[in-house]
Structure 1
Amino acid sequence: MTDSEVGAVSTIVGIHGIGKRQTGRHQMAPAWRAALRDGLERATGSAVAEPPLALAFYGHLFAPAATRTGTRTSTQDATRAGTGATKGPGPDPHAWLTELDGAELEDLLAAAGEAITPEEAEAAAASPAKAYTRLPRPLQTVLRALDRRFGPSAGVLYLGALREVRRYLTDTELKERIDATVRADVSPDCRVLIGHSLGSVVAFEYVRQNPGHRLDRLVTLGSPLSLRMVRRLLPNPRYGAIRGLPVTLGSWVNIRDARDPVTCGGGLRPWWPGVDDRPPVDNQGDAHAVERYLGKRETASAVLEVLPGLAP
């Protein structure tokens, strides 16, 4: 099934997460469909057809303007977005951490405090310096503490993810462009919206801004919506909370891995009482990866409950 064929009949739409500036919908959508198909087969115990899933893609909007016009960019431009900028020889992939402005640094350090305890921070500060030595000391401490708690490179993933979430919620022009792109990509036939990572925040905003589109289910994977910084920056953080869910949602299922640093704030039910926080899954060595989430029986079951026709 081609992307255009899926788009014409898509009852499921996915919204991707962080660090996707250099890829695109046609590259990512087949991987999402394959992973969910694996999950559906695990959930049903039978072979299933490729699911009718389309992908709303906005990652290119985070890229510096120069990269969209084909002109050369500086190291600063290449790393400014915060994640997925460079690999291997060349510009330092952690350079963006040295370029945080005062407000960004304050917010990210506060968010790190939600993921680690004061004792963990003290232990990281007291340990011999072995990583992130070119960064300001407060960042060294939280990055080491996050790595100790969640695994290698977890600190960069966590702060990079939250920097993109923060930028989406504070850069009005960028947010309007992302929201418009997603709105155009979510067809009227969509019944299940799946948001991963930052995509779960974008999905929540889609629901808030489009009250005319009733969804049978919102599925959030690896969501940072439980973090104080994220909720503080939402245009309407209490949207849907009084009723338990936004009025246009039939249901909302949240799935997280307890080892996924982006979900360290916990489940979403304390903030939206109608959310169904499913038991944590185990994505093993790549706790935040969308393919790991989509391939889980738990995610597929959340889809099958409202789209039983996907089962053979």
Structure 2
Amino acid sequence: MALVVGVHGIGQQYRGRHQLLAAWGPALADGLERAAGQRVTLSEFDITFYGDLFLPDPPIAADSVVPKSGDSDAGDELDLSAEEWADVAEALAELVTPAEVAAAAAAAPKGLGRIPRPFQALIAAIDRRFGPAAAVLSIRELKQVRRYLREPAVRRAVDDRVRDEFPPGCRVLIGHSLGSVVAYELLRQNPDLGVKLLITVGSPLALRMVRDRLRVEPLPVPAWVNVRDLRDPVACAGELRGWWPQIREADEIVVDNGAKAHAAERYLSRRQTGVALLRAVPQVVGE
């Protein structure tokens, strides 16, 4: 049994459940400690892991394995097909204004030789606004989000894994990045899980590319808290309550994660995340 369950985001295919527990658990405990104002011990926390489904060379004999994608640990973030570039660029355009793109184009961006010319100014504008490498982070995120949303085999494999390995007794579900989309679908498709609170952190759910490929409807949870950093390019499309009004205004929370705006551990260790968690399940703090 686990009172709190996490759903991870992209780029975890070379890790595993135990490695993520070792990273997420202490961060979440720190957030709880900051919220409680005293030393605490996090109990009954687990993670549903699906990252290995995105490995580039899956076992051929597996029945529910995502087809080979070319995703790797590093180095192929910009190896997109023309169709992928079109979709990703559409989403990236939501992150900056036309004036910012024009200013970036006028500055003659350099070092973007691997980026198709029509998208270079857009990529440069994102880096100018959010910091170096922000565009690559966004592309990596959107590339894997796109696969989940547009490839039925990918979506089915991920959804089945997360549902089948979902621990009993969960009261709080935490989704980071792509994991927030996966968590959303888990709750939407399985209304009887008994989850009392959804916490989304660093979520791309506000992006039109994501919303257009989901069924946007109220979730069967009593409460939903969304936490975002304004400098997180994955989450900077804005508040979620414009599309999911069940999120209270007070539960649209802005935090400062410093230089690593999208990092899961930064989000989990924020006091605001701990406050939301304690409000839902105060018993998560062990003696």
Q: Which has the higher contact order (CA 8 A, sep 6+)?
A: 2
Following superposition, the deviation at residue 156 of structure 1 comes to 0.6
Q: For residues 7-18 of structure 1, what are the structure 2 equivalents within 5 Å?
A: 9-18=1-10
The answer to whether the 8 A contact 1:15-1:199 is kept is yes
Q: Does 1:122 align with 2:124?
A: no
Following superposition, the deviation at residue 188 of structure 1 comes to 2.4
The letter for the 2-side match of 1:126 is A
Q: For residues 138-217 of structure 1, what are the structure 2 equivalents within 5 Å?
A: 138-217=118-197
Unaligned residue ranges in structure 1 (runs of 5+)? 1-8, 70-76, 87-92, 241-245
Residue aligned with 1:286, SS: coil
Q: 1-side partners of 2:282 and 2:205: how far apart? A: 28
Following superposition, the deviation at residue 96 of structure 1 comes to 4.1
4+ residue runs of structure 1 moved beyond 3 angstroms?
A: none
Q: 2:262 aligns with which of 263, 288, 307?
A: 288
The answer to whether the 8 A contact 2:169-2:194 is kept is no
Match of 2:217 in 1: 239
Q: 2:222 aligns with which of 223, 247, 250?
A: 250
Residue aligned with 1:279, SS: strand
Q: For residues 266-281 of structure 1, what are the structure 2 equivalents within 5 Å?
A: 266-276=238-248, 277-281=251-255
Match of 2:276 in 1: 302
Larger helix proportion of the pair: 1
The answer to whether the 8 A contact 1:131-1:144 is kept is no
The answer to whether the 8 A contact 2:205-2:211 is kept is yes
The answer to whether the 8 A contact 2:198-2:225 is kept is yes
Match of 1:48 in 2: 40
The answer to whether the 8 A contact 2:229-2:254 is kept is yes
Q: 2-side partners of 1:129 and 1:226: how far apart? A: 28
Residue by residue, what CA displacement relative to the aligned partner does 1:267-292 show, whole Å, maximum 9, x if unpaired?
Answer: 10000001134331000100000000
Q: Does 1:62 align with 2:54?
A: yes
Q: 2-side partners of 1:156 and 1:80: how far apart? A: 16
Choose 132-141 or 45-54, whichever is displaced more: 132-141
The answer to whether the 8 A contact 2:4-2:170 is kept is yes
Q: Does 1:111 align with 2:91?
A: yes
Q: 1-side partners of 2:98 and 2:32: how far apart? A: 42
TM-score (norm 1): 0.85
Match of 1:73 in 2: none
Match of 1:262 in 2: 234
TM-score (norm 2): 0.92
Unaligned residue ranges in structure 2 (runs of 5+)? 61-67
Choose 105-114 or 134-143, whichever is displaced more: 134-143
The letter for the 1-side match of 2:245 is P
The answer to whether the 8 A contact 2:225-2:253 is kept is no
The answer to whether the 8 A contact 2:109-2:121 is kept is no
Choose 15-24 or 206-215, whichever is displaced more: 206-215
Q: 1-side partners of 2:114 and 2:180: how far apart? A: 33
The letter for the 1-side match of 2:39 is A
Following superposition, the deviation at residue 85 of structure 1 comes to 2.2
The answer to whether the 8 A contact 2:172-2:197 is kept is yes
Choose 284-293 or 122-131, whichever is displaced more: 122-131
How many pairs were matched up? Answer: 277
Q: 1-side partners of 2:253 and 2:163: how far apart? A: 31
Following superposition, the deviation at residue 51 of structure 1 comes to 3.0
Q: 1:31 aligns with which of 23, 33, 39?
A: 23
Q: 1-side partners of 2:196 and 2:77: how far apart? A: 40
